[in-house]
Amino acid sequence: MVQCQACVLTCMDFRIQYPIARWLQEKGLQGNYDYIALPGASRNFLQGGKLFLIETSIKLHQIKEVYIIHHEDCGAYGLGELPVAEQLKLQYQDMQEAAQILKERHPHLEVHLAFLYLDGNMVELF
Ligand SMILES: [Zn+2]
Residue 35 belongs to some domain of the structure: yes
Distance CA 46, CA 80 (A): 21
- Ligand 1 centroid to 29 CA: how many Å? 22
Query: Domain containing 41: what range?
Result: 6-125
Count of domains observed in the chain = 1
Kindly state the helix (H) or strand (E) to which residue 43 belongs, with its residue range: helix 42-47
User: Mean pLDDT in the chain?
Assistant: 96
- The pLDDT value recorded for residue 58 is 97
- Ligand 1 centroid to 58 CA: how many Å? 24
pTM value?
A: 0.96
pLDDT at 103 over 90: yes
% of the chain beyond a pLDDT of 70: 100
Angle between helices 84-105 and 51-61 (to 10 degrees): 50
CATH of the domain at 96: 3.40.1050.10
- Ligand 1 centroid to 119 CA: how many Å? 15
Residue 1 belongs to some domain of the structure: no
- Ligand 1 centroid to 109 CA: how many Å? 24
31-55 pLDDT tens trace? 999 999 999 999 999 998 899 999 9
- Ligand 1 centroid to 69 CA: how many Å? 10
Residue from 13, 120, 9, 121 nearest 65 by CA: 9
Residue 29 belongs to some domain of the structure: yes
